[in-house]
Structure 1
Amino acid sequence: MGLLALFRRRPHERAGFELYGAAVAAARDPWFFGGLGVPDSLDGRFDLVGLHVALVIHRLRNDPDPRGAALAQAVFDAMFADMDMNLREMGVGDMVVGKRMKRMWEAFHGRAHAYEAAIDAGDATALAEALRRNVWRAEATGGDPPAGARALAAQAMRAAAALAAQPFASLLRGTAQFPAPERPADAA
């Protein structure tokens, strides 16, 4: 391996960062924080970004094109490169960044599996329960999930369906379209 190989981009790196950027932009919609009451905190923002990235990765991993898995990995890599950079910019020391990154990876991994299982089953209630636990850090108390969790689950299901309908060629170019949240005024 020559020295130039160290500076060569990995396959799908640019598209992975573009898709990650689209997920972050979708997760920043003010409706999530105002209308749904998602905590506007580091944890709340991480959870929304994680949800949207999980939706993109789920779409890519389920594509029959063999490049889907590699592109999904590129999105994951982009997310955690960004998280690492953000932690360092916030002043987290080098000795602590690795431990924090490991906890963030584990949190994302567990959440993504719960979200994917609910989406694959078409179970909006199970998705709302997972969102209640993860986004609002609330334990199930029996009965239906709260309205905010149900609305976020419905939005995530719409986003998953919208991503599934997008051609792989667009995703391969780094283009993903997330549907705008259905606000109560929109539904009328």
Structure 2
Amino acid sequence: MIFGLFRKKKQNQPIVDRQYASLTSAARDPFFYIDLGVPDTVMGRFEMLSIAMILFFRRTAKSGVSGQELAQEIVDAFFQDIDHSIRELGIGDQGVPKRMKKLAGMFYGRLESYAAALDAGDREALSLALARNIRPEAADTPSMDGLAAWMIRAEELLAEVTEDEIARGAALLPPPGK
């Protein structure tokens, strides 16, 4: 009976699954890759999914305890998904923790830099941070102004999402380019 206290609660699982699927679907929108300059690569997809998670995480930071708990479960699902993807790419069991640590560091670094620009309402700083992270190797980095504008608009629209929608896993990111 006492061991039940240490088991992860599964009552939120359908909500977590629904919200995570919505966020991953939004991050996979071809518009990001075709029109906004995000490379359609493993790392490009990591970047877009990180952006979706960051936007959702920032919205739920303003929620009550249940919204924040849900956000943590969704971020946990994100990292479980990354772990699974790394293994599917053929990385051995010994290399996975090192890669996970690196990717977690990248995610939280992006959270800080994007949050600073979003909090300041600084589209140019956000665009530069996106370019630095999404195309670090490119000498002539394409402008990330369109992606920065979408992120600002997405954050504004997420602010209008009700607590009930958060609790049901029904928060949606706006489609890009519309």
- Matched residue, 1:107: 106
State, as a whole percentage, how many aligned pairs show the same letter.
Answer: 38
In 1, Cα distance between the equivalents of 2:45 and 2:59? 21
- Matched residue, 1:181: 176
- Matched residue, 2:27: 27
1:8: how far off? 5.0
Runs of 5+ unmatched residues, structure 2:
none
- Matched residue, 2:17: 17
Q: If the length of structure 2 is used for normalisation, what is the TM-score?
A: 0.89
Q: If the length of structure 1 is used for normalisation, what is the TM-score?
A: 0.85
In 1, Cα distance between the equivalents of 2:113 and 2:43? 18
CA contact (8 A) 1:118 1:127 kept: yes
Q: Given the superposition, is the C-alpha separation of residues 7 and 62 from structure 1 closer, same or farther in structure 2, using an over 3 Å criterion? A: closer
CA contact (8 A) 2:57 2:71 kept: yes
1:11: how far off? 6.2
CA contact (8 A) 2:37 2:142 kept: no
The size of the alignment, in residue pairs, is 178
In 2, Cα distance between the equivalents of 1:73 and 1:91? 28
Root mean square deviation of aligned Cα: 2.3
1:20: how far off? 2.2
Deviations for 1:84-140, whole angstroms, at most 9, x for unmatched residues? 111122221111111111001000000011111211211111111110111111689
CA contact (8 A) 1:36 1:151 kept: yes
Which moved further from structure 2: 113-122 or 9-18?
9-18
The answer to whether 1:154 aligns with 2:149 is yes
Runs of 5+ unmatched residues, structure 1:
none
CA contact (8 A) 1:12 1:172 kept: no
CA contact (8 A) 1:132 1:139 kept: no
In 1, Cα distance between the equivalents of 2:168 and 2:146? 30
Code of the aligned partner of 1:113: E
Give the alignment of 1:84-103 within 5 angstroms.
Answer: 84-103=83-102
The answer to whether 1:125 aligns with 2:120 is no
- Matched residue, 1:58: 58
- Matched residue, 2:135: 136
Q: 3-state SS of the aligned residue for 2:55? A: helix
